[in-house]
Amino acid sequence: MEFLILFAVLVVGIHWGWTAREAVAKRRADFLLSKLQEIEEDTPEDIIRINIEKDNGVLFAYHEQDSRFIVQANSREELENKLKELFPGKRFGCSPETLRKCGFIL
């Protein structure tokens, strides 16, 4: 008889634990999705996402979305100046991997 009571308590405990785990996971997922939406909404319209490639010492900048060529330059400073001339008032974003590959960051 005690074995059946112990088994029933174990089954109910497992069920409650599993249900509580699911509730916590759902709350965490909802929280992370809301934070992601806030980040996407906070991204300013004046940032242009670009990719930079380095070939034989020459830097080439492309739009990230459709890989359209923007400009080429021989140095980082020259690239930044040309981008500022072409798109006044805009800022440019690039992935850290791309910046490392081009030697802009360590």
**Residue 31 — φ and ψ, nearest 5°?**
-60, -45
The CATH class given to the 47-102 domain equals alpha beta
Give tens-digit pLDDT for 65-87.
898 999 999 998 999 999 999 98
Residue 31: predicted pLDDT: 92
Residue 100: predicted pLDDT: 86
Residue 23: predicted pLDDT: 95
Side-chain half-sphere CA neighbours of 40 within 13 A: 6
Per domain, the residue ranges of the chain are 1-43, 47-102
Residues in the chain predicted with pLDDT less than 50, given as ranges, are none
